[in-house]
Amino acid sequence: MNVEPSIAAARFRSLASPILNLTQQAAPALTRAVLGTAFVQTGLGKWEHFSRTVEFFESIGIPAPAANAAFIASLEVAGGAALVLGLGTRAFSALLGCTMVTAIATAERNAFLAALRPGAEKGLLDVVPFVYLLLLSGLAAFGGGALSLDRLLFGRPSMGAPFRPAGAQGASL
């Protein structure tokens, strides 16, 4: 059976469109859920072991370690919960991203620099704050997506327009 390439491409696009639309909606929601949960857990851990957190912050040269430990623990709990809900996604992603930059510059500095060396045993994806920073940057740039409270409450646009095959009209998922 000989099918003209443009017809085959149109068939593929019509089959792929719903999958791409679902992925476009699910990806930011899943990213928010995973990151948000991780931040809530680490924030609660900082509060649960507050004196150790303060000591650690002091050991890596964070100024006003008690005040910063309280601020970061609170930001991680509140910001993480907000990410899970998709509320204030861009703002909390930017704030949590700043904490990741600080973590890379202090606690993870040696691991980050080692990962940049050619032939390093571990790469950048082994530096957890760097991975979180990449994901948070995407959320800060594009927002929480269609499945978020930001979208529901404020009508903020999701992460771009739904995928539509070339020449397609009408509503999509």
Q: What is the mean pLDDT of residues 159-167?
A: 49
Assigned domain for 16 exists: no
DSSP label of 125: G
Per-residue pLDDT, 158: 46
Mean pLDDT of 106-120: 96
Least confident residue range of 94-98, 107-111, 153-157, 162-166? 162-166
Alpha helices in the chain (DSSP H): 5-48, 50-59, 65-85, 89-105, 109-116, 128-142, 149-154
Domain that holds residue 36: 22-154
Mean pLDDT of the chain: 89
Residue 69 covered by a domain: yes
Q: What is the pTM assigned to this prediction?
A: 0.81
The domain tally of the chain equals: 1
Among residues 143, 110, 108, the alpha carbon closest in space to that of 128 is found at: 108
